[in-house]
Amino acid sequence: MKTDDLRYDEDAAFTLADDAATISALVRRTPDERLRAVKIGDWTAKEVIGHITDMAEVYAERVRRCVAEDRPALPNIDQDAVHAERKNNDADAMALSKRLQAAHTAIVQMLQRAGTSERIGVHSERGPVTAGWLGAYQARHSHEHVSELQPHFPPR
């Protein structure tokens, strides 16, 4: 995934909102057994939803720190360790959906304020990144996974 050209804009904001709404609709209409049964790669659909949620919370916190602090250090996250720790396959799907909604809403709200998208944090691998880049990255990351889920759970 090429990420150097990511920019936070209105499309990224709508992607964050739309993806959270899509996951909410998906978990409301899909039995838990089916979310656990459908596999996408090595993970169940429910684990993918948990992963999207976990990373949304990480990115919301990163954006918050960029907005509140001067050039905060943003450590790398081991997504496999988070996956093992959270045990999202056993989590309540609606709770995952609500956490995703809250994290994506927080990103959009923070980045709506003038000047916040240009605030800088220093990522341990990428170096300096803007809060806007972080929001755009989460929008793309979320959308890639939501797009993987959608064919398995078409609207009824």
Q: With respect to residue 75, please indicate whether it lies within any of the assigned structural domains.
A: yes
Query: Mean pLDDT lowest for which of 1-5, 36-40, 54-58, 142-146?
Result: 1-5
- Is residue 1, in this structure, part of any structural domain at all? no
Alpha helices in 5-130 (DSSP H): 10-29, 32-37, 45-68, 79-86, 93-112
Nearest to 145 by CA among 96, 107, 75, 112: 96
Q: What is the pLDDT of residues 30-40, one digit of tens each?
A: 999 999 999 99
Q: C-alpha distances in angstroms, 104 versus 40, 42, 143?
A: 23, 25, 12
Does residue 28 contact residue 75 with C-beta atoms inside 8 Å? no
pTM: 0.94
What integer best gives the mean pLDDT of the chain?
95
Segment 13-27 shows an average pLDDT of 97
Report in angstroms the alpha-carbon separations of 106 from 45, 53, 63, 90, 140: 24, 13, 9, 25, 16
pLDDT of 2: 45
% residues pLDDT > 90 (the chain): 90
Report if residue 98 sits inside a domain. yes
Average pLDDT over residues 132-140: 97
Question: Is 5 part of a structural domain of the chain?
Answer: no
Residues forming a β-bridge with 37: none
Q: Which residues contact 111 (CB under 8 A, 6 or more apart)?
A: 8, 13, 63, 117, 131, 132, 135
Residue 21: partners with Cβ closer than 8 Å, 6 or more residues away: 101
State which H helix or E strand residue 43 sits in.
strand 43-44
Q: Which domain holds residue 69?
A: 10-152
CATH number at residue 28: 1.20.120.450
pLDDT band per the 50, 70, 90 thresholds, residue 80: confident
Q: Is 9 helix (H, G, I), strand (E, B) or coil?
A: coil
Overall domain count for the chain: 1
| Whole-number pLDDT of residue 3 | 52
On whether residue 3 sits in a domain, the answer given is no
Residue 4 covered by a domain: no
- Whether residue 28 lies inside any domain: the answer is yes
Q: Determine, yes or no, domain membership for 96.
A: yes
Farthest-apart Cα atoms in the chain, separation: 48
Give pLDDT, residue 155: 84
